[in-house]
A = this chain, B = another copy of it.
Amino acid sequence: MKVLLAGFEPFGGETMNPAWEAIQRLPKEILGAQLFKIQIPVSGQRALEKIYQMMKEEHPEIVIAIGQAGGRYGVTPERVALNIDDYGIPDNEGNQPVDATIFADGAPAYFSNLPVKDMVQAIRDAGYPASLSNSAGTYVCNHVMFGILYYLEKEFPDTGGGFIHVPYAACQVVQKSNTPSMSLLDIASAIEAAVRAAILQKKKSL
């Protein structure tokens, strides 16, 4: 089995992105499944192109993109992506779409077909704070999640896809007052637990 993990580069003035930092700290294999790790740019279109390219080349059974959601207290698998771009700040290429449809022939929303509640429980069982999120926002993270699920519906119906948001790493909040964070190693372990849960369910369904 192949699992594609895509983590964002830094944005919003940060010098690192805990999503990509955490992915790099994961092993090469989990439960016998091979992990493909790619860094994606904070540009909806380019990030999606990179993921789509990997999906066509490697045909992973599971695709999970991971991004930073500063201000959250734990690791939050996302339930659903919306067919809308409404960026509060420009992406790293300077684009800032407002109330724009992502794919004209896409559904208004796609629900992740990953076992998101199992993933939350797996993270908690591993000892880390987690909860199910009902909103991936309307920024690049939502764009990428929506795009993955759009491609799954159109071209890869047997693939599992979803998105996980992670809090700031502890080192990012040193100068921020009253901002929650997690250890980078804990974020990595939490993601590993979530990926494990996704792999387990996929194995059962095969």
Contact = CB atoms under 8 A, between A and B. Distances in A.
Given A82-B134, A110-B108, A129-B173, A73 B178 contact: yes
Most buried by B among A73, A117, A124: A73
B174 A129 contact: yes
Nearest to A169: B127
Q: Is the interface of A mostly helix, strand, loop or mixed?
A: loop
Given A73-B173, A134-B135, A181 B129 contact: yes
Residue of A107, A111, A131, A175 ringed by the most chain B CB atoms within 10 A: A111
A3 interface: no
A177 B180 CA distance: 12
A80 interface: yes
Contacts of A183: 170, 182-183, 185-186
A113 interface: no
B82 A109 contact: yes
Contacts of A74: 173
A170 B108 contact: no
A201 to B, nearest CB: 14
A138 interface: yes
A150 to B, nearest CB: 12
A180 B178 CA distance: 9
Interface in A21-75: 73-74
A74 B183 CA distance: 12
- Indicate the member of A127, A178, A181 with the most B CB atoms within 10 Å: A181
A131 B177 contact: yes
Nearest to A111: B108
A154 B79 CA distance: 26
A119 interface: no
